[in-house]
Amino acid sequence: MKAMLQSGPGLPLELHMLDDPIPGPGSVRIKVNACGICRTDLHVVDGELPNVKYPIIPGHEVIGRIEVAGPGVTEFKPGDRVGVPWLGYTCGECDYCKSQQENLCDRPLFTGYTRDGGYATHAIADARFCFPLPGAGDDAETAPLLCAGLIGWRSYRMAGEGRSLGLYGFGAAAHILAQVAAWQGRRVYAFTRAGDTAAQSLAKSLGAVWAGGSEEEPPERLDAAIIFAPVGALVPLALKAVKKGGRVVCGGIHMSDIPSFPYRDLWEERQIVSVANLTREDAREFLAIAPQAGIKTTVKRYPLAQANAALADLRRGRIQGAAVLIP
């Protein structure tokens, strides 16, 4: 049986049977073994992002095996294990594509947003945007690396080389980056929803030197902070927590409005930056570093048909680490 889950804006996902998808030139058909759930999927399902192609099959942390390689595909053959990330296509011709900034391409397609993704038994992907995963790792535990890991890595690099790093919102991305930071000898400060002791203990078990509520002041001023929670009110809070010259990186695609704050909180060369998407270079870098850093993801598995329940759990902050759908 082939099946997929489709959403319209603000509607629960519905299960549909899938015709045998035939990969066109340059594309591959993948038998999906696991698809991670990202917070962005909630924004897609909730209709919070512009230009979504509804009905859409969400999901951009896809791990599977090539079933059929379309005409012209030379880099993969049936049986190869691959990962499909958020960046699903770039034009290759715009100024951004030509200057190593394909994450900002003017005519991109994003998996599970503007092209169908991995909440399905099978998926079609552009072979140039699939990554070989030759290792024999667990598919569900690998899935969160494909977005939480990759876009998390881009945010992490954007945060600079400072030794003290704050992570606001300790979900899928932060639980991966905390391990990278601890491996590199940095001091990680984890900020969670007030009273979320489960997330705080997970953070400490992964190497954070301190964990507390987002409103709390960390015991030292931070070199940088990354905000993964979609909460604009965290921006002024994080600005207060960073030292002179410190940087606040907004790592998500969507955030509630940022409340106004006094200019003096930004002054002294503090910066606020956002991160958009990923480049294939980010992915190659991170997928090489992940095994060296010994990253272990904490996952909660749901059958594909339970995707709505999984999204509801993510919305309510009931997931430690990352949720993953298993078809």
19's CB contacts (< 8 A; 6+ apart) are 2
Query: Taking the complex as a whole, how short is the minimal distance between the CB of residue 97 and Zn ion, in angstroms?
Result: 3
* Nearer to Zn ion (CB atom), residue 225 or residue 322: 322
* Nearer to Zn ion (CB atom), residue 107 or residue 284: 107
316's CB contacts (< 8 A; 6+ apart) are none
* Nearer to Zn ion (CB atom), residue 90 or residue 320: 90
Query: Taking the complex as a whole, how short is the minimal distance between the CB of residue 41 and Zn ion, in angstroms?
Result: 7
DSSP string, 18-43: ---PPP-TTEEEEEEEEEEE-HHHHH
Distance CA 228, CA 40 (A): 11
Which residues in the 145-164 window bind Zn ion by CB under 5 A? 147
Query: Taking the complex as a whole, how short is the minimal distance between the CB of residue 254 and Zn ion, in angstroms?
Result: 11
Here's the x/- map for Zn ion, 129-148, by CB under 5 A: it reads as ------------------x-
If we measure between CA atoms, which residue out of 64, 38, 78, 75 comes closest to residue 133?
64
List the one residue from 4, 37, 38, 188 that touches Zn ion (CB under 5 A). Answer: 38
* Nearer to Zn ion (CB atom), residue 18 or residue 94: 94
If we measure between CA atoms, which residue out of 203, 262, 209, 213 comes closest to residue 234?
213
- Say which DSSP state 266 is in: T
The SS3 of residue 84 is strand
Per CB under 5 A, does 3 bind Zn ion? no
Distance CA 224, CA 36 (A): 28
Helices (H), the chain: 39-45, 139-142, 150-158, 172-183, 197-205, 234-241, 280-292, 307-315
- Six-digit token string for 76: 């993969």
Which residues in the 72-111 window bind Zn ion by CB under 5 A? 90-91, 94, 97, 105
Q: How many residues bind Zn ion (CB under 5 A)?
A: 8
Query: Taking the complex as a whole, how short is the minimal distance between the CB of residue 66 and Zn ion, in angstroms?
Result: 22
- Binding segment for Zn ion (CB under 5 A), chosen from 37-45, 71-79, 135-143, 272-280, is 37-45
* Nearer to Zn ion (CB atom), residue 118 or residue 212: 118
Q: Which residue is nearest to Zn ion (CB)?
A: 38
| Residues of this chain that bind Zn ion (CB under 5 A) | 38, 40, 90-91, 94, 97, 105, 147
